[in-house]
Structure 1
Amino acid sequence: MGSLNTTFREGFILVGFSDWPQLEVFLFVFIFIFYSLTLCGNTTIIALSQLDIRLQTPMYFFLCHLSFLDLCYTTSTVPQLLINLQGPDRTISYGGCVAQLFIVLALGSTESVLLVVMAFDRYAAICHPLHYMAIMYPHLCQALAVVSWLGGFINSLIQTGLMMALPLCGLHLNHFFCEMPVFLKLACEDTEGTEAKMFVARAIILIFPAALILLSYVHITKAVLKVKSMAAKRKAFGTCGSHLLVVSLFYGSAIYTYLQPIDSYSENGGKFVALFYTIVTPMLNPLIYTLRNKDVKGALKKLLGRGRY
């Protein structure tokens, strides 16, 4: 327990991208721009969904939750990274690191469950259009959102608790934020038992939701192929295609990071993959969901039009 006490006193040093000092200025500019776009895009979706009555539907209710999740997720890691890229001080307190680990895991787990809920919403809209509003009534939507958040935070609590029970050796985290695989690399003793329990928790929150989403889209595809109108088919595939793209980006990067054996996890490679899912994906989500969406474009034009008069 001595190593853990030392860590608690001194905190950790986030190595970040100090191995590539020539990249730090470029990364700072790149990350700052993407973070600004993420804040702007996701805040706009939340604001439009609240201000325009046409967007007060189950689909946009869940999209608001996704946008809020992305705002919280990026804000839990990116400001720290920007500070570290600017100066020599790369330390983070033990409490701050554990809090960041818990929050990142909680928000990521919540998004995993929320994407299943959004797939169910699309399934109900396309496979049962006449009963859609009866199925996705407001109380059910609220309950599904609460289940997503509770499930994510409970999963994070379990994994963080298991992680913190391990004695840690060393203060250097070869990452730009406190992430689970890098923490496991610091464990002083054999972690096979704990890692196996954590792997089960991660598999439940990643593999099971991904399988449910694929199953829902098998039924959606069958239903869309039966539709005779080509315009209706294009609209359905356009909406569902955007959701599937988000799902692929999220689960692809998450499975790469969290479901590979810790021995084969590359810390340097993991940093660049983490850049993708902490910065790029949250910035792309608003564009993917709204770029071809007439309702959102109409709401934005209406809002901007009001601003002129």
Structure 2
Amino acid sequence: MLRTRRSEILTAFVLLAPFIVIYGLLFVWPTIQMVMLTFTKAPLIGAGDWVGLKNYERLWGDRLFWTATWNTLYFVLLTVIPSTLLGLLIALGVNRLKGWAQSLVLAAFFIPYILPVSVVYRMWGWMLDSEFGILQHPIAAVWGENVPIFRTIPLFIPAVAFITVWWLIGFNILLFIAGLRNISSEIYEAAELDGATRWQTFRRITWPLIWPITVLVATIQLILQLKIFDQIYLFAQGGRVDATLSLVGLIYRSAFQKNQGGYGATVALVLFMLIVVISVLQFQLLRARGQR
């Protein structure tokens, strides 16, 4: 028995060794190097002088860092919950369709997801252009005049969040459709025989059974949106970039534009810890909610 146990452990180690080595070289070692970089005044490439905790002290007093943190969290709030709930509602509607109609509607929602961010930027940039954008007609009907959406600070983050939800919601719908199709039709037939209404069926059957997918979608969206950069960077061109900066945007500016690798690594480490803590807390809270 002992020899068999040792043989199993050796086999498992041999099978896991390539993954462990690659994971260590591509993630663990670079992470350790990044942490060490936060204690230096290093450029983007090359070594730098040891400065201890000065980068963290600078971070605490950096107004731009707090602006970027607020913009990132505000963007997450405007995208994660709406995209998850809308994805579920649309999936429930699509799931009721049959045949080619279901395929057509599902494709219509999923096509934007496969578009690159540059195409999304051009499309919405043209439609919301303050001079000739087609969407300026209903905006002017409400506001009384054309509004430069992407140069109006209070409207910038909500507008980009709306575009992001439109762009990425197809993936959420696809996950929810997969979850709904895994629910046995016999359960719904039994509920119908018992006289359950649609709301009771959803509340007592669909919602509890689809909850694990909801947790997955919300967690994926949270991690994805905390790393927001592309949309904000593109739509903020020519506007007040500082007021619309995200955390990843601050990392890009510090490390790649100002050649402050040490400070950029400090912001990156804070973002990494923020993603880990918020994602774990959200996942645990949602999972605990689903187990009650």
TM-score by length of 2: 0.30
> Please, what TM-score do these two structures have when normalized by structure 1?
0.29
Q: Considering only CA atoms, is the larger Rg found in Structure 1 or Structure 2?
A: 2
